[in-house]
């Protein structure tokens, strides 16, 4: 079981990865087709999937039980 600090680090890592993915997706229409951007999107998707998979296997620390509703909202993938 993860400590509260480690659990929140992983949650914030997922949020940071989603923000990076959003930045790349915003840039994509402005530049011509670029394999680097496509590869970057794939890498970010894979990192997010791995991080979510790791954290979903963990039991949420009891100390953050009142806050878990907010954390769960942030773990949902961004939908446009």
What's the pTM?
0.68
Domains of the chain by residue range: 4-75
Residues 21-40, mean pLDDT to the nearest whole number: 88
Distance, C-alpha 1 to centroid of its chain: 20
Longest dimension (CA), the chain: 48
Residue percentage of the chain with pLDDT more than 90: 24
* pLDDT(42) > 90: yes
How far from each other are the two terminal CA atoms of the chain, in whole angstroms?
34
Question: Is pLDDT larger for residue 33 or for residue 46?
Answer: 46
What is the average pLDDT across 3-24? Answer: 86
In this structure, the chain runs to a length of 80
Contact 41, 49 (CB under 8 A): no
Q: CA-to-CA distance for 75 and 38, rounded, in angstroms?
A: 23
pLDDT of residue 77: 57
How far apart (Å, rounded) are the C-alpha atoms in residues 66 and 51?
22
């Amino acid at each position: 079981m993860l400590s509260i600090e480690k659990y929140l680090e992983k949650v914030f890592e997922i949020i940071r990865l989603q923000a990076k993915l959003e930045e790349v997706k915003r840039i994509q229409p402005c530049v011509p087709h670029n394999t680097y951007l496509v590869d970057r999107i794939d890498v970010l998707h894979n990192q997010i999937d791995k991080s979510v998979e790791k954290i979903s296997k963990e039991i949420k620390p009891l100390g953050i039980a009142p806050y878990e509703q907010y954390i769960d909202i942030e773990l949902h993938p961004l939908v446009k």
